[in-house]
């Protein structure tokens, strides 16, 4: 298989050599290529009636590194690029107003699907933790770094890092009283999944902020804050808009901040930082 070969053609060429379970995945992809591109590995597994491992095994059988690489190539075959996904009133918004209106619609949709009990449960868990580990990789890393900084301003000890080895090391040194906040739009980032699994083995509680309630990270986390985006301005193959994750984090931090935690230390930090502001 060459990287320029069409995914559909590659599936057809290898179909007879696949195991019966893998053929279920292949059949779904052949019949629903557009739906496949918008699914994550867990969703495709559910739609095909197989396990996540079967989906990944089939993709490797075809010569790809995994599901994500296969999906990237399938999206390319379908003519999708980085700046795709918007499907509002216009095929492509051509004004700043239209773009912001699309973002506002998505934020309202996200808000309507948030469970207040879950938000309050997450806030309580964070307040009672000894340390919060904010983890993310790739384009989403800055969101985790920002979360770590803002929790620190609230007086909550937090660990975050741009390098996955660092946050994995911090989790390995943590205790069962720590909490992991995992941020992953696809919900399939391997190192984020590893962080959750490592934390679970140490008895840590965890929160997933992700675009799918049926993603691998959602299946591991104790709580899931779902950020479904019906009309994304950017596909998951390009520069993801982090507005939605940041908005959910804002809501979460609001309820975290409602309980007093080390107010004197927080006030002192604010006074120190005030020296660097005009």
Per-residue pLDDT, 214:
79
Which tokens belong to 119? 């938000």
- C-alpha 252/C-alpha 249 separation (Å) is 5
Per-residue pLDDT, 91:
53
Intra-chain end-to-end CA distance of the chain, in Å? 60
For the four alpha carbons of 198, 204, 208 and 212, in that order, the dihedral sign comes to positive
Q: Along the 278 residues of the chain, how does pLDDT read in single tens digits?
A: 555 678 999 999 999 999 999 999 999 999 998 888 878 888 899 999 999 999 999 999 999 988 988 988 888 887 654 334 444 444 566 788 887 887 888 888 888 888 899 999 999 999 999 999 999 998 889 999 999 999 999 999 999 999 999 999 999 999 999 999 999 988 888 899 999 999 999 999 999 999 877 788 999 999 999 887 665 555 544 445 688 899 999 999 999 998 654 444 445 545 555 555 55
- C-alpha 256/C-alpha 1 separation (Å) is 51
Range 111-274 has CATH code 3.40.50.10490: yes
pTM over 0.75: no
Per-residue pLDDT, 87:
46
For the packed helices 41-48 and 52-61, what is the interaxial angle rounded to 10 degrees? 100
Per-residue pLDDT, 177:
96
Domain boundaries, the chain: 7-77, 111-274
CB 266, CB 253: distance < 8 Å: no
User: Which architecture characterizes domain 7-77 according to CATH?
Assistant: Orthogonal Bundle (1.10)
Q: Which of 187, 175, 122 is nearest to 151 (CA)?
A: 122
């Amino acid at each position: 298989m060459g990287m320029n070969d069409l995914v559909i053609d590659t599936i057809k060429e290898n179909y007879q050599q696949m195991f019966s379970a893998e053929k279920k995945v292949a059949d779904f992809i052949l019949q629903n290529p557009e739906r496949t591109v918008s699914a994550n590995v867990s969703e495709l597994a559910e739609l095909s009636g197989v396990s996540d491992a079967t989906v990944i095994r089939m993709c490797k059988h075809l010569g790809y590194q995994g599901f994500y690489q296969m999906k990237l190539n399938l999206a390319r075959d379908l003519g999708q690029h980085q700046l795709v996904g918007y499907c509002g009133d216009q095929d492509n918004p051509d004004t700043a107003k239209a773009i912001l209106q699309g973002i506002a619609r998505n934020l309202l949709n996200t808000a309507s699907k948030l469970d207040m009990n879950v938000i309050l449960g997450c806030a309580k868990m964070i307040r009672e933790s000894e340390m919060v580990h904010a983890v993310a990789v790739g384009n989403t890393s800055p969101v985790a770094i920002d979360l770590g900084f803002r929790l620190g301003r609230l007086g909550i000890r937090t660990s975050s890092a741009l390098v996955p080895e660092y946050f994995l090391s911090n989790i390995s040194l943590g205790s069962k009283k720590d909490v992991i906040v995992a941020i992953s739009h696809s919900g399939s980032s391997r190192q984020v999944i590893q962080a959750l699994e490592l934390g679970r083995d140490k008895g840590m509680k965890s929160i997933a902020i992700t675009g799918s309630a049926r993603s691998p990270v959602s299946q591991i986390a104790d709580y899931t804050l779902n950020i479904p985006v019906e009309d994304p301005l950017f596909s998951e193959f390009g520069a993801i808009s982090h507005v939605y994750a940041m908005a959910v984090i804002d809501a979460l931090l609001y309820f975290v901040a409602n309980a007093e935690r080390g107010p004197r230390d927080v006030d002192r930090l604010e006074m120190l930082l005030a020296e660097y502001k005009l």
